[in-house]
Amino acid sequence: MPDEYLNASALPPLVAQLLYNRGVKLEDIDPFLSADRRLEGNPFLLPDISQAVSRVYKAVLAREKIAVYGDFDVDGVTAIVILVEGLSWLGAEVIPYIPDRVNEGHGLKISALEKLQAQGANLVITVDCGVTDPTVVKQAQNMGIDMIITDHHIPLGSLPRAVAVIDPKRKDSVYPYPGLAGAGVAFKLLQALFHKDSKEKWLTRLLDLVVLATVTDLVSLVGENRYLVKEGLKELNNSSRVGIQEMVKLAGLKPGELDTEDISWVLGPRLNAAGRMNNASISYQLLTTQSSEEARLLALELEGKNVERQKLTSEVLSRAREKLAAKLHLPVLIEGDESYSIGVIGLVAGKLVDEFYKPAIIINLGPELCQGSCRSIAEFDIASALEECHDLLTAFGGHPLAAGFTVARRNLAQLEQRLVNLATDQLGHLELCPELVIDAELPLTVLAGDTFNLIQKLSPFGRGNPQPTFLTRQVEVIECRNFGNHGEWLRLKLKQGNVTWQAVDFESQKKRAEIPSHIDIVYNLEKSHWNGEEVLSLNLLDFAPAQLR
Structural domains of the chain ordered from first start? 3-33 (no CATH), 43-202 (3.90.1640.30), 328-427 (3.10.310.30), 440-545 (2.40.50.460)
Task: Report if pTM > 0.85.
Answer: yes
Distances (CA, A) of 373 to 61, 145, 222, 383, 423: 42, 31, 27, 11, 16
Determine how many CB atoms are found less than 10 A away from the CB of residue 474.
16
- What pLDDT score does 463 carry? 87
Quickly count: other Cβ atoms within 10 Å of residue 341's Cβ: 18
pLDDT of residue 1: 67
Radius of gyration of the chain (CA): 24
Q: Is 487 helix (H, G, I), strand (E, B) or coil?
A: coil
pLDDT value at residue 548: 67
Q: How many alpha carbons lie under 13 Å from residue 269 in its C-beta half-sphere?
A: 18
pLDDT at 234: 97
* Gap between the Cα atoms of 320 and 356, Å rounded: 13
Q: If DSSP codes are grouped into helix, strand and coil, which group holds residue 524? A: strand
Phi–psi pair at 145, nearest 5 degrees: -95, 130
Phi, psi at 478, each rounded to 5°: -105, -15
Asked if residues 521 and 472 have their Cβ atoms less than 8 Å apart, the reply is yes
Taking only the tens of pLDDT, the chain with its 549 residues reads: 677 777 766 778 888 899 999 999 888 888 999 999 999 999 999 999 999 999 999 999 999 999 999 999 999 999 999 999 999 999 999 999 999 887 888 889 999 999 999 999 999 999 999 999 999 999 999 999 999 999 999 898 899 999 999 999 999 999 999 999 999 999 999 999 999 888 899 999 999 999 999 999 989 999 999 999 999 999 999 999 999 999 999 999 999 999 999 999 999 999 999 888 878 899 999 999 999 999 999 999 999 999 999 999 999 999 999 999 999 999 999 999 999 999 999 999 999 999 999 999 999 999 999 999 999 999 999 999 999 999 999 988 888 899 999 999 999 999 999 999 999 999 988 888 888 899 999 999 988 778 888 899 899 998 889 999 999 999 999 988 888 777 778 899 999 988 999 999 887 777 777 788 999 999 999 887 666 677 888 999 999 998 766
- What pLDDT score was predicted for residue 9? 62
Q: Which helix (DSSP H) or strand (DSSP E) does residue 51 occupy?
A: helix 49-61
